[in-house]
Amino acid sequence: MRAHRRVSLVFVGLALAATSSFAAEKSIVGRTVENFALKDFRGQPHQLADVADKKLIVLAVLGTECPLAKLYGPRLAQLAADYEPKGVAFLGLSPNQQDSVTELAAYARVHNIHFPLLKDLGNVVADQIGATRTPEVFVLDGERKVVYAGRIDDQYGFEPSGVGYQLDAPKRRDLAEALDELLAGKPVSQPEITAQGCLIGRVRTPDPASKVTFNEVAVVLNKNCVECHRAGQLAPFSLSKYDEVVGWADMIVEVIDQGRMPPWHADPKFGKFVNDCRLSDAERDVIHQWVAAGAPEGDPSKLPPAPTFVEGWQIGQPDQIIYMRDEPFDVPAEGTVPYQSFVVDPGWTEDKWIKAIEPKAGNPAVVHHVVMFLVPPEGPKTGATSRLRTDWLASFAPGLRMPILPDHLARFVPKGSKLLFQMHYTPNGVAQSDRSYLGVVFADPQKVQKEVAVKNAGNFTFRIPAGADHHEVESTFAFREDSLLISLSPHMHVRGKDFVYNAVMPDGTVETLLSVPRYDFAWQTTYILSEPKLMPKGSKLHCVAHFDNSENNLNNPDPTVEVRWGEQTWEEMMFGWFEMALVDQDLTKPQPPRKSRVEEFQKLAEAGGAIMDEQLKQVAAKGLEKDEDFKFFAYYLKDLVPQIDRVCITTVADGNLRAKHVEEIDGLKTTLRTTNTVIKAEGQMLAEVLGAEKPVVVEDLSTAKGSVVARMHNKGVQSSLHIPATLGGQKVTVNFWSTEPKGFPPAAVALLEQVVQDLVRGR
């Protein structure tokens, strides 16, 4: 199976088959290209006749800011190096009016291009050969007739819906294959293949009588586009000035007409969202009128003032900037890099309330995404805010906009916590390094009324059949207290097709909160509700997603295999992430005494909420497949039974006590920590409970036998529960540990017995 990665071309919509008034009405192949004379970025003149002695000529139409042209720059440089010794000349053409000679020089330097890059002023040559987009290549034979026209290869591109894709390597090297066939004296087997890319920024003739000028367009761009399309931001080009915008006029119309820009994927029939960035009809009309009038500049003195931003940050100037490590991490040129985890101590000696947090890729060329997790401090835990505990803080992915919480809402981080950077790297052919970082804006604790936590309705047990083009997967989250739903963030990988969130009320009423009919992995959008949605106790968030595992999905790494849950991009996920708060919480008022976590669980049990929900059943059923699955299992279990601090499975073999699975939660570090540890079983309580007929509860660990529990007790573990089971034909004990005394009342024992049944069933 080949790894599969996503093109980070999230700000430019590139149509597959769109044409313009400059496109040829008939095939370009067979057209004779007349001699032309152009200057390169150094001012040196070049003519087509200069290479008349070459067997073949490749005319490569390029744009310095087009994302696809940037990706293909190194590829063209390598092709030129490979084929010029065989009698093939390469010439680059830049017909974009917005591309300066300085930018052409930088493009050549960055991509190590040594063949001439010529400035096609007035797009004269582009018009002659019928070029419409960048990058696009034309191969001329000895008679200077076009014998191949189109794309370079199929590694990068866009589906008809506008969703981008990127293969690890091309399946078909179109330009190279055409050159090989021609050099061998054969006709080109596929002489014309539609190129994907950015529309050429042709010179236009403005209408001086137009009532709409760039002054009116700038108002629209400043409001909707410039936040990202400016220097230092993720967008590949700036839209701040007339000279920057005019060359993109046709492209702007194309992407707004096809709904690809501004990036918003929610169906307007469902839900209202604070961050809905769609253009209004009036704004679209302004742009259409301006482009139809030839994109006139207007009176520069009447240009509206440019918006102001904190450079480099979506969240404003951070209160603290934290790097993932002191030294960069080296990313190899090729291969699959396992997920990397870096733990850093931010030095927080007091509780923190976070209003906004923004991870940033140190090297966007190789950082696929960043997920920030919380590593809570060691030591006894209280109930406090644990009903909303979450280890997930924030993430970075291309196209993700960072939300900023209002003053009365914030994320809580206990003092002494550390931060974990989980890094997903994607090698791009050149060995590089990365040192990613994040910025944090703190909230005023005196103003925070409610804690906000990130939760999710996830499915871990799905199996997407090979070739299935519309496979349905569902997930559910049950609200155990009256809650407020703040935002929704659907997450799948490259086979993701669509995603729907439904609110199911206790009386059975169903309301669609969000529908994303064309899911795009390149855009990890958080949809912030205009008004928080009340989710009463007993209500559910029900998510329905569909996956396309067929060959028709150009993003699909391998349509011949069954796909299951996994962290890598060629595997799949189905997460309905969301932010929530509790209705009754008001932290600005005097707070009742903190409850122990056992008391918190008892309250939940008395209210009928201590039951196995569908999500926990799924997580338990998958919990023993991999170490990472056991980690997820322990995490979700703690959300329901908050007093659990450690889960492990032990057995005895050859007179030795061994751990088969171990997960220490919230930074608890005890003993028997790895599956490699071997301890003599004689005199150990963990060995004696093996094979017991019923669960064994130890209310006070100081009374238990053996060095293992003695060391745990010395680390603060106070009580435990041991449930006998059979795993793979071998007797085992599933052990639950708590730093609270009497941590496992009868309701917890009954619940955990059900959990263990699902955990070991079928193993």
The answer to whether 462 and 473 have CB atoms below 8 angstroms apart is yes
Lowest mean pLDDT among 7-11, 226-230, 319-323, 523-527: 7-11
pLDDT tens, residue by residue, 612-621: 888 888 889 8
Together in a domain, 91 and 143: yes
Lowest mean pLDDT among 103-117, 331-345, 436-450: 331-345
315 in helix, strand or coil?
coil
Q: How large a percentage of the chain has pLDDT more than 70?
A: 92
Together in a domain, 152 and 29: yes
Region 412-436: what's the mean pLDDT?
A: 85
Helix axes 249-257, 281-292, angle to 10 degrees: 150
d(CA 428, CA 168): 8
Q: Name residue 148's beta-bridge partners.
A: 139
Q: What pLDDT score was predicted for residue 640?
A: 87
- Classify residue 15 as left (phi > 0), alpha (psi -120 to 50) or beta: beta
Q: Is the pLDDT of residue 4 over 50?
A: no
Indicate whether 602 belongs to any domain: no
Q: What pLDDT score was predicted for residue 95?
A: 94
Q: What pLDDT score was predicted for residue 10?
A: 38
Together in a domain, 42 and 188: yes
Which of 430-434, 478-482, 715-719 reaches the highest mean pLDDT?
715-719
Indicate whether 728 belongs to any domain: yes
Indicate whether 695 belongs to any domain: yes
Lowest mean pLDDT among 89-93, 146-150, 314-318: 314-318
Q: Is the pLDDT of residue 173 over 60?
A: yes
Q: Is the pLDDT of residue 123 over 60?
A: yes
Q: Residue 272 has what DSSP assignment?
A: -
The answer to whether 172 and 153 have CB atoms below 8 angstroms apart is yes
d(CA 738, CA 713): 10
Q: What pLDDT score was predicted for residue 20?
A: 34
Which residues are CB-neighbours of 276 under 8 A, at least 6 positions away? 264, 266
Element (H, E) at 375: strand 367-375
Q: Is the pLDDT of residue 694 over 80?
A: yes
Which of 149-163, 233-247, 541-555, 560-574 reaches the highest mean pLDDT?
541-555
Mean pLDDT, the chain, as a whole number?
87
137 in helix, strand or coil?
strand
Q: What pLDDT score was predicted for residue 234?
A: 63
Together in a domain, 165 and 257: no
21 band by pLDDT with thresholds 50, 70 and 90 = very low
Q: Which of 448, 473, 497 is the last residue of a domain?
A: 448
25 band by pLDDT with thresholds 50, 70 and 90 = very low
Region 395-410: what's the mean pLDDT?
A: 79
pLDDT tens, residue by residue, 330-346: 988 777 787 888 999 99
Nearest partner of 596 among 381, 440, 760, judged by Cα:
381
CB-facing half-sphere around the CA of 161: CA atoms within 13 A: 16
Q: What pLDDT score was predicted for residue 12?
A: 36
CB atoms within 10 A of CB 707: 15
Together in a domain, 95 and 35: yes
Q: What pLDDT score was predicted for residue 732?
A: 95
d(CA 631, CA 739): 19
Q: What pLDDT score was predicted for residue 653?
A: 92
Q: Is the pLDDT of residue 566 over 80?
A: yes
The β-bridge relationship of strands 418-425 and 367-375 is: antiparallel
Region 270-279: what's the mean pLDDT?
A: 90
Together in a domain, 25 and 44: yes
Which residues are CB-neighbours of 109 under 8 A, at least 6 positions away? none
Q: What pLDDT score was predicted for residue 576?
A: 94
DSSP 140-152: E-TT-BEEEEE-S
Radius of gyration of the chain (CA): 30
Element (H, E) at 82: helix 67-83
Q: In b/e form, how buried is each residue of 533-567, taking b as 16+ CB within 10 angstroms?
A: bebeebbbbbbbbbbbbbeebbbbbebeeebebee
Q: Is the pLDDT of residue 279 over 60?
A: yes
Indicate whether 604 belongs to any domain: no
22 band by pLDDT with thresholds 50, 70 and 90 = very low
The answer to whether 263 and 302 have CB atoms below 8 angstroms apart is no
Indicate whether 91 belongs to any domain: yes
CA distances from 322 to 92, 397, 688 (A): 43, 18, 48
Q: Which of 562, 594, 626 is the last residue of a domain?
A: 594
pLDDT tens, residue by residue, 497-540: 999 999 999 999 999 999 999 998 877 788 999 999 999 998 99
Indicate whether 657 belongs to any domain: yes
Nearest partner of 482 among 610, 585, 616, judged by Cα:
585
The answer to whether 246 and 497 have CB atoms below 8 angstroms apart is no
Indicate whether 273 belongs to any domain: yes
Together in a domain, 576 and 462: yes
d(CA 268, CA 270): 5
The β-bridge relationship of strands 192-193 and 4-5 is: unpaired
The answer to whether 295 and 214 have CB atoms below 8 angstroms apart is yes
Lowest mean pLDDT among 1-5, 26-30, 263-267, 684-688: 1-5
650 in helix, strand or coil?
strand
pLDDT tens, residue by residue, 632-659: 888 889 888 989 999 999 999 999 999 9
Region 196-219: what's the mean pLDDT?
A: 91
d(CA 467, CA 521): 20
Q: Is the pLDDT of residue 428 over 90?
A: no
Q: What pLDDT score was predicted for residue 26?
A: 65
Indicate whether 311 belongs to any domain: no
Q: What pLDDT score was predicted for residue 406?
A: 87
Q: What pLDDT score was predicted for residue 675?
A: 87
CB-facing half-sphere around the CA of 206: CA atoms within 13 A: 16
The answer to whether 529 and 520 have CB atoms below 8 angstroms apart is no
Structural domain that includes position 148 = 4-199
Q: What pLDDT score was predicted for residue 316?
A: 87
The answer to whether 578 and 458 have CB atoms below 8 angstroms apart is no
Q: What pLDDT score was predicted for residue 495?
A: 95
Lowest mean pLDDT among 153-167, 329-343, 652-666: 153-167
d(CA 535, CA 457): 14
Q: Is the pLDDT of residue 3 over 60?
A: no
The answer to whether 216 and 223 have CB atoms below 8 angstroms apart is no
Extended beta strands in 414-526, E state: 418-425, 432-434, 437-442, 450-451, 453-458, 463-464, 471-478, 483-491, 496-504, 510-516
- Classify residue 294 as left (phi > 0), alpha (psi -120 to 50) or beta: left
Q: Which of 530, 562, 594 is the last residue of a domain?
A: 594
Together in a domain, 154 and 181: yes
Name the more confident of 373 and 688.
688
Together in a domain, 650 and 724: yes
Together in a domain, 291 and 347: no
Together in a domain, 355 and 439: yes
Cis peptide before 135 (omega within 30 of 0): yes
Q: Is the pLDDT of residue 18 over 50?
A: no
Which residues are CB-neighbours of 326 under 8 A, at least 6 positions away? none
Q: Is the pLDDT of residue 473 over 90?
A: yes
Q: Is the pLDDT of residue 661 over 90?
A: yes
Q: In what order do the strands lie in the sheet with 418-425?
A: 340-344, 418-425, 367-375, 392-396
User: How many independent structural domains does the chain possess?
Assistant: 5
Q: Name residue 544's beta-bridge partners.
A: 474, 500
CB-facing half-sphere around the CA of 699: CA atoms within 13 A: 3
Q: Residue 418's domain is classified under what CATH number?
A: 2.60.120.230
Q: What pLDDT score was predicted for residue 591?
A: 79
Exposed, middle or buried by CB within 10 Å (0-12, 13-18, 19+), for 640?
buried
Q: Is the pLDDT of residue 15 over 70?
A: no
Q: Residue 756's domain is classified under what CATH number?
A: 3.30.450.40
Backbone phi, then psi, for 676, in 5-degree steps? -90, -10
352 band by pLDDT with thresholds 50, 70 and 90 = very high
Q: In b/e form, how buried is each residue of 82-91, taking b as 16+ CB within 10 angstroms?
A: ebeeeebbbb
Nearest partner of 529 among 476, 485, 472, 586, judged by Cα:
485
CB atoms within 10 A of CB 269: 8
Residue with tokens 């044409």: 19
DSSP 587-632: TTSPPPPPPPHHHHHHHHHHTT--S--HHHHHHHHHTTSSHHHHHH
Together in a domain, 116 and 42: yes
| Sign of the alpha-carbon dihedral angle for 562, 566, 572, 573 | positive
Region 100-119: what's the mean pLDDT?
A: 92
CB atoms within 10 A of CB 424: 19
DSSP 711-736: HHHHTT--EEEEEEEEETTEEEEEEE
